[in-house]
Amino acid sequence: MNVKLIGFTPNPEKLPAMAAKLTHSKTKPEELDESSTEELDAILKQVMSLGHTSVIEHASFTFAISDVSRSLTHQLVRHRIASYAQQSQRYVNLNEPNYVIPPKIAQDKNMKKAYDETMAKIWEQYNKLLDLKIPAEDSRYVLPNAACTNIIVTMNARSLLNFFELRCCQHAQWEIRALANKMLQMVKKVAPTIFKNAGPACKSRGICPEGKKDCPLYPK
């Protein structure tokens, strides 16, 4: 997969800090920009430590994600407080085979051979339907969950914290877990205070919602 942080709120940690200061200050909103960097940094660290994360909804981050499976994006769009723009199988001709191979299949020579042969047969039938003038919107019905897709995703920082708790977990599905970890490393570079403790719940909150005591990350 390819993942790139293509945009984010300017000063993604300053704006949430200003919003937090506003709630406990007589200062007018338009005057908050005059606050010192040191004061705003201290305010943000305090609200994050207290779990008062509503203010970080003022910061958002946009990712360009390509060569992931439709299986992944079916999981991704369940995160409802986000904006999505996905490559359409209705309007885009996908005549060239392009699909994700799960690691457990890739590591077995015989399994991979059978998998690749199945995919080749699927795309053969897909292209046959197109040749018969079947619309792409109907022909796509034979394409598998493994078919690659591209998507642009925008989430605010609070939604991302929730996303990382669920999808960075060792028990999340492998592909979306890999995506979540890549996204987390990118946002940490531009908003280190907000995402300092971001990650699975065992890291962010010291609990295991899954109750999986055999997990190496299970809180001691």
Q: Report whether 63 contacts 183 (CB < 8 A).
A: yes
| Structure letter (DSSP) for residue 61 | E
Most distant CA atoms of the chain, gap in Å: 70
Distance CA 43, CA 14 (A): 10
Answer yes or no: 177 catalytic.
Answer: no
Over residues 213-218, mean pLDDT: 81
Joined together, the tokens standing for residue 161 give 């914290």
| Structure letter (DSSP) for residue 81 | S
- Does residue 199 register a pLDDT over 90? yes
Q: What integer pLDDT is reported at residue 33 of this predicted model? A: 83
Question: What are the extents of the domains in the chain?
Answer: 2-84+148-204, 102-142
Q: Report whether 56 contacts 157 (CB < 8 A).
A: yes
Distance CA 141, CA 90 (A): 10
Distance CA 125, CA 132 (A): 11
State the pTM of this model.
Answer: 0.92
Query: C-alpha 30: how far from its chain's center?
Result: 33
**pLDDT, tens digit (0-9, with 9 covering 90-100), for 29-69:** 888 888 889 999 999 999 999 999 999 999 999 999 999 99
**pLDDT, tens digit (0-9, with 9 covering 90-100), for 61-74:** 999 999 999 999 99
**pLDDT, tens digit (0-9, with 9 covering 90-100), for 87-107:** 999 999 899 999 999 999 999
- Does residue 24 register a pLDDT over 90? no
Catalytic residue among 70, 158, 167, 177: 167
- Residue 213 binned pLDDT confidence (cut-offs 50, 70, 90): confident
Q: What integer pLDDT is reported at residue 103 of this predicted model? A: 96
- One of 3.30.830.10, 3.30.70.940, 3.30.1360.170, 3.30.565.10 is the CATH number of 2-84+148-204, namely 3.30.1360.170
Q: Phi, psi at residue 22, to the nearest 5°?
A: -55, -35
Residue 99's SS3 state is strand
Distance CA 162, CA 147 (A): 27
Over residues 124-137, mean pLDDT: 96
